Chain A
């Protein structure tokens, strides 16, 4: 159990965890936003529902990925808040 006091140590560990999550989310964000377009020409050789896969992923898949990513982030960050007793009352 985390200590309930708001000592500097808890604050620091809370912020480390938060920053770690931030870096992970930004990494995934970059893979989706920049990685997928880079590899689109290769993926285009596959065809799904009549779509060249690279185009489908860039036009729809990445956007869905962003939406899911934010929902996931919100859930994870809420858990971190609770673990460190940093959530609002």
Chain B
């Protein structure tokens, strides 16, 4: 019966969502042919995307009572995987990843390896056991395993700080898109993006509905693949960029020599900056296994068995986008170098004026010549700007922008919601006002979301760093604060409440202190470690403190040992633990 509901809803939402997106794109393409200006088309795309999300929220709210909690329990692993992939694809994957590879060459692959390798850790170390535990959130688990309030509070603090930085990166991404396509000043554009995201979140958000996430995945990946497939066909005649970009790499190498360009970018000699390559990889891997919006889906699969296989499907769907990112970088590089070599990059192009106004692309021409001789593209502008630079129809660029906006908005929406819930549930309800009404908690949740969003927008408007760097901070903080407590909580019975709380606090503080101190210029990077890999200090600190404090304190009670045994086995009930050992309730 649930199965029937699923397919029914699936069909309906699917038609509305994908059909709506295709229709919008088609109408705008026609308008563009009919001579409507690019600027108008760009504005229409951005506004339609926001309007679309807001209305999906409203639609979602009406369907929510029937679907909300049951959703995760009746969904086949394949769709859970697709939905997780949709949650996962944020501004960092969509806008930042290909740009990072474009800018750093082989070293940029650290992001690819880190973000995908983390799923192995999720599958083997965490997902099946968190599913067996079966409560709702990561702080719920910490609180049960490590005896209540202190663990819940520290865990919540870590989650909120990581989620906050993640939101900053999403707002930075929406700000770039709004600045470019609405023609606004960047600071103003960030706040316009904020308004769009809040509008959608307040409408109820959409991400709890798994069917909309499945459709979202398909739309986002189509928007991402569109330009790179076109570029691949143009350069090689074959529409499979993932297997054809080897040719692009070779021609890039040839052109670099011809142009005498100094950069070895994309000439794949291997790692340039070893400590940061491996540092970024490990921080992103462990951070992936600690972030709430990834783990949350696996708390609610139909069974432990399904939890394991869902992780595999998730990574498969993420791989489809990730395998295209290096191709995106390679074909973009080829296109730009080829145009430079042929003198086909005009210094008076409209896109160049627009992107330099936003401050993300700068170019130089020889004196008295209209053709550019060099161009610098900020990594965060690459994916959005390349359709225009390559002379593709403006609509292609607008589709990519809409896809990026969709990815950023759905991630920001979900993360703001998790911040709001942490404030209202874990802090307000648990700590400050235990007898508060659900209505009041909802107000606290909404207020928290608005305040967090405004603070995040302010931080994004100061341009603290590029998208992947800010996201890297979030991963480092999550990994340093939560990974040891989560993994040892399941795999080491001897881990005690005090050990875990001290470890979480130590890892998180070390990591945060390093990021702040280096960003503020108080210290120079230790061993050359960039702030994005700050977890290189935080993670060992957290492990050391957790291990030593645990061994110095009395071992967990028999009751706790039985609880751990029970979540290790798929079969049988979860062993209950009393008030003394931990506080679990179903609220």
What residues make up the interface of A, taking CB atoms closer than 8 Å to B?
Answer: 6, 11, 14-15, 18-19, 22, 25-26, 29, 32-34, 37, 40-41, 44, 48-52, 54-56, 58-60, 62-64, 66-67, 69-71, 73-74, 77-78, 81, 85-89
* B300 at the A interface (CB under 8 A): no
Interface SS of A by simple majority: helix
* B568 at the A interface (CB under 8 A): yes
Q: Mark B434-476, 1 if CB is under 8 A from A, else 0.
A: 0000000000000000000000000000000000000000000
Which of B113, B124, B125 meets A58, CB within 8 Å?
Answer: B113
Q: Known contacts A40-B270, A85-B571; is A66 also within 8 Å of B308 by CB?
A: no
Q: Which residues of B contact A67 (CB under 8 A)?
A: 312, 315-316, 319
Q: Are the C-beta atoms of A66 and B270 separated by less than 8 Å?
A: no
Q: Which B residues, 369 to 404, have Cβ-Cβ distances below 8 Å to chain A?
A: none
Q: Ordered nearest first, which 5 A-B pairs have the shortest CB separation? A: A50-B246, A55-B268, A51-B246, A41-B270, A70-B312
Q: Which residues of B contact A22 (CB under 8 A)?
A: 124-125, 491
A and B contact pairs by CB, cutoff 8 A, 10 listed: A18-B568, A22-B125, A25-B120, A37-B277, A50-B246, A52-B249, A60-B242, A63-B113, A67-B315, A85-B571
Q: Which A-chain residue is minimally distant from B327 (CB atoms)? A: A59
Query: A18 CB to closest chain B CB, in angstroms?
Result: 7
Q: Which residues of A contact B278 (CB under 8 A)?
A: 34, 37
Q: Which B residues, 340 to 386, have Cβ-Cβ distances below 8 Å to chain A?
A: none
Which of B117, B268, B309 meets A52, CB within 8 Å?
Answer: B268
Which of B123, B246, B316, B571 meets A88, CB within 8 Å?
Answer: B571
Q: Kindly state the separation between the CA atoms of A56 and B269 in the bound complex, as whole angstroms.
A: 12
Q: Which A-chain residue is minimally distant from B242 (CB atoms)? A: A60
Q: Which B residues, 186 to 210, have Cβ-Cβ distances below 8 Å to chain A?
A: none
Q: Are the C-beta atoms of B571 and A64 separated by less than 8 Å?
A: no
Q: Known contacts A6-B572, A37-B270, A88-B305; is A55 also within 8 Å of B243 by CB?
A: no
Q: Known contacts A52-B249, A60-B242; is A44 also within 8 Å of B285 by CB?
A: no
Q: Are the C-beta atoms of A73 and B123 separated by less than 8 Å?
A: yes
Q: Which residues of A contact B491 (CB under 8 A)?
A: 19, 22
Q: Are the C-beta atoms of B268 and A44 separated by less than 8 Å?
A: yes
* B147 at the A interface (CB under 8 A): no
Q: Which B-chain residue is minimally distant from A78 (CB atoms)? A: B305
Q: Kindly state the separation between the CA atoms of A55 and B565 in the bound complex, as whole angstroms.
A: 43
Q: Kindly state the separation between the CA atoms of A81 and B304 in the bound complex, as whole angstroms.
A: 11
Q: Mark B246-279, 1 if CB is under 8 A from A, else 0.
A: 1101100000000000000000111100000110
Query: A89 CB to closest chain B CB, in angstroms?
Result: 7
* B218 at the A interface (CB under 8 A): no
Q: Mark B572-586, 1 if CB is under 8 A from A, else 0.
A: 100000000000000
Q: Which residues of B contact A64 (CB under 8 A)?
A: 319
Q: Kindly state the separation between the CA atoms of A69 and B305 in the bound complex, as whole angstroms.
A: 16
Q: Are the C-beta atoms of B113 and A49 separated by less than 8 Å?
A: no
Q: Which residues of A contact B224 (CB under 8 A)?
A: none
Q: Which A-chain residue is minimally distant from B113 (CB atoms)? A: A33
Q: Kindly state the separation between the CA atoms of A69 and B315 in the bound complex, as whole angstroms.
A: 11
Q: Which residues of A contact B125 (CB under 8 A)?
A: 22
Q: Which residues of A contact B270 (CB under 8 A)?
A: 37, 40-41, 44, 54
Q: Are the C-beta atoms of A74 and B250 separated by less than 8 Å?
A: no
Q: Kindly state the separation between the CA atoms of A49 and B269 in the bound complex, as whole angstroms.
A: 17
Q: Which residues of A contact B277 (CB under 8 A)?
A: 37
Query: B135 CB to closest chain A CB, in angstroms?
Result: 17
Which of A11, A26, A40, A62 meets B124, CB within 8 Å?
Answer: A26
Q: Which B-chain residue is minimally distant from A36 (CB atoms)? A: B113
Which of B123, B242, B271, B304 meets A40, CB within 8 Å?
Answer: B271
Q: Which residues of A contact B572 (CB under 8 A)?
A: 6
Q: Which A-chain residue is minimally distant from B570 (CB atoms)? A: A88
Q: Kindly state the separation between the CA atoms of A89 and B303 in the bound complex, as whole angstroms.
A: 10
Q: Are the C-beta atoms of B116 and A89 separated by less than 8 Å?
A: no
Q: Kindly state the separation between the CA atoms of A49 and B475 in the bound complex, as whole angstroms.
A: 35
Q: Which A-chain residue is minimally distant from B310 (CB atoms)? A: A74
Q: Mark B287-310, 1 if CB is under 8 A from A, else 0.
A: 000000000000000011100110
Q: Which residues of A contact B281 (CB under 8 A)?
A: 33-34, 37
* B166 at the A interface (CB under 8 A): no
* B109 at the A interface (CB under 8 A): yes
Q: Are the C-beta atoms of B569 and A60 separated by less than 8 Å?
A: no
Q: Are the C-beta atoms of B571 and A86 separated by less than 8 Å?
A: yes
Q: Are the C-beta atoms of B116 and A66 separated by less than 8 Å?
A: yes
Q: Mark B316-328, 1 if CB is under 8 A from A, else 0.
A: 1001001100100
Q: Are the C-beta atoms of B271 and A49 separated by less than 8 Å?
A: no
* B25 at the A interface (CB under 8 A): no
- A-B contact sample (19 more), CB < 8 A, given A29-B117, A44-B270: A11-B569, A33-B113, A37-B270, A40-B268, A50-B246, A51-B246, A52-B268, A54-B270, A60-B326, A62-B116, A66-B119, A66-B315, A67-B312, A69-B120, A70-B315, A74-B308, A77-B308, A87-B571, A88-B571
